[in-house]
Amino acid sequence: MRFKLLSLLLIVAMAFYACNGSGNAPGKDSSAASGSTPDASADHMATRLGDLKLESGYPSEEAINKLYDERDFQRACQVHTWALPMVGFHALHLAQRDQIGVKDGDVAIFLDLADKKGMLTPNITTLYAFTFWNLNQKGPLVIEAPAGLIAGGVLDLWQQPITDIGQTGPDKGAGGKYLILPPGSKDIVAPGFRVFKSPTAQVWFGTRGLDPDPAKAKATVCSHKIYGWNDRAKAGSTNYVLVNGKTWTSAHPTDVEYFKILAEALMNEPVQTRDRVMQAMLASLGIIKGKPFNPDERMTKIFNEAAIVGELTARANAYEKRFKGAKVWEGKKWEYANLVELNQEDSNYTQIDERASWFYEAIGNSTGMQGRVLGFGQAYLETSKDKAGNWLQGAKNYRMHIPPNVPAKQFWSITLYDNVTRYPLVTDQGSADISSRMDIERNPDGSVDVYFGPSKPAGSNRNYIKTLPGKGWFPYFRFYAPSEDYFNKKWQLEDIEEIK
């Protein structure tokens, strides 16, 4: 009886050791008891980084190197997402200054597709005017806005609006004088000026001409006066520079250059309280205010890898949104492109994912661009999938039905973009958009059918935009001066359907 009992205990013990790791003694491999507290005597741990060797509980030198590489990689990836607004803006600044050849304080004029082909998701229908200004270097900025059909504003380096100017600004389209002060500066008494203080030294002024007559729109936009407050007594005329179809690019880099742009942009800017934790991560990566950014071979490799993963994460976050409120209509694929509050804050957190989605795709934000003002500003909807839930592809043919009475008081447009560059889709057709200001073909009930594909689909009308095989694409549908039926959702846009 005693022998049988001993035999039974031996069998139980053998089963126990078999279930706790291939014959190893208990506690030698912390992976043996998943979810339990690691045993101090374990000599290695199985992790997603591989098998990490331990020495009396201390990570081995090899394990330490792996862990620091992983920490730096993870931090660089999170910094990539956090920094998208700033890097996107500074990349545009560098492109305007170094590639197009427009100095800070001069105003670049972007008229058409040829001018905008290096810009993130521009509208092709209206002309743009941009200038950058460093308040610490050049002093306070003055903008004298004309009366007329314009919509724009001044933004800080995080693409947070300082003030709208034009239809959605305090002047309500009647024109006026604006004075923008540097961060931390003393207030200035300036009768006749609307005075605002920027949180960052680098600011950007952008506007668009909304008059349906292109000549009038250009004349109004070019009536702005841009000059320094300190030079107001001798301010000359503003220098406007036509882009004239120059080749340029402003997309976020996908290698270590992304972090070089970030380091340069941050160097002379004040730190916002909400970003102090991120600043600690930046410091551990060698991006420190007042010090040159000079990554060694190890960190350059990590930055290159993090830029690629960061880019793909940004792409997923933009085209497959997983934050609240993205869907426009239940059961349809259309999403709100811009869900960023003006201060980029939700009730309990900073909108890291929301702003990363918008600023991966686009440039700028303002009251007018949020799509919340009845009868003024713009609303932006986007989709990356067809009605069946498949990605939109350049090799396939599609049809989109736009119901009659689009709720847009000024005009509506649909523009196609390359899903990798986010630039307008450029083909030999020479057009990436269709708008209600064009001579488009309408159905008897006032509705509009638009067709997309590498070649004009059989049976389609002249409302056709060419796509490119091998390239994914996505559209923005814009409502200029959205009206009531947009907000109450009585009017709904149809999904894009593949034509077999």
Give the model confidence (pLDDT) of 349-385 as tens digits: 999 999 999 999 999 999 999 999 999 999 999 999 9
Amino acid 191: pLDDT: 96
Amino acid 36: pLDDT: 61
What beta strand segments (E) does 302-455 contain?
A: 335-336, 378-382, 398-402, 408-418, 433-435, 448-453
What CATH superfamily is the domain 63-318? Answer: Domain of unknown function DUF1254 (2.60.40.1610)
Instruction: Tell me which residue has tokens 């426009």.
Output: 328
CATH number, domain 335-498 = 2.60.120.600
Mean pLDDT of 286-313: 97
Amino acid 431: pLDDT: 85
Amino acid 4: pLDDT: 44
Those residues whose C-beta lies under 8 Å from the C-beta of residue 350, and which sit 6 or more positions away, are 274, 344
Mean pLDDT of 473-486: 98
Domain residue spans of the chain: 2-59, 63-318, 335-498
Buried/exposed 414-450: b ≥16 CB within 10 Å, e otherwise: bbbbbbebbbbbbbeeebbbbbbeeeeeeeeeeebbb
pTM: 0.90
Percent of the chain with pLDDT over 90: 90
Amino acid 15: pLDDT: 40
Say if residue 174's pLDDT is above 50: yes
- The Cα 402–Cα 329 span in angstroms is 15
**For the chain, what is the mean pLDDT?**
93
Mean pLDDT of 291-317: 98
Question: Using one digit for the tens of pLDDT, what is the confidence trace for 75-119?
Answer: 999 999 999 999 999 999 999 999 999 999 999 999 999 999 999
Confidence bin at 300 (pLDDT 50/70/90): very high
Amino acid 369: pLDDT: 96
Amino acid 311: pLDDT: 98
Amino acid 133: pLDDT: 98
**Of 261, 243, 253, 145, the residue nearest 202 (C-alpha):** 261
